[in-house]
Amino acid sequence: MEFGGLYSCRNCLNPLALGDDLVSKNFKAKSGQAYMFIHAMNVVLGPKYDKQLLTGLHTIADIHCSKCGEAVGWKYVQAFDLKQRYKEGKFVLETLKMIEQY
Ligand SMILES: [Zn+2]
How far is the centre of ligand 1, averaged over its atoms, from the C-alpha of 10 (Å)? 7
Q: How far is the CA of 80 from the centre of ligand 1 (A)?
A: 31
* pLDDT at res. 2: 54
pLDDT computed for residue 31 by the predictor: 82
The single-letter code of the amino acid at 66 is: S
Give residue 17's identity as a one-letter amino acid code.
A
How confident is the model over 18-46, as pLDDT tens digits?
999 999 999 988 889 999 999 999 999 99
Domains by residue range for the chain, with CATH = 6-101 (2.170.150.20)
CA of 82 to the centre of ligand 1 (A): 34
Which pLDDT belongs to residue 3?
57
Residue 8 and residue 70 in contact, taking contact as beta carbons nearer than 8 Å: no
**To the nearest 5 percent, what fractions of the chain are helix, strand and coil?**
10, 60, 30
Distance 62 CA to ligand 1 centre (A): 14
The pLDDT assigned to 1 comes to: 46
Positions in the chain whose pLDDT score sits under 50: 1
Identify the helix (H) or strand (E) that includes residue 61: strand 56-65
Q: How far is the CA of 71 from the centre of ligand 1 (A)?
A: 9
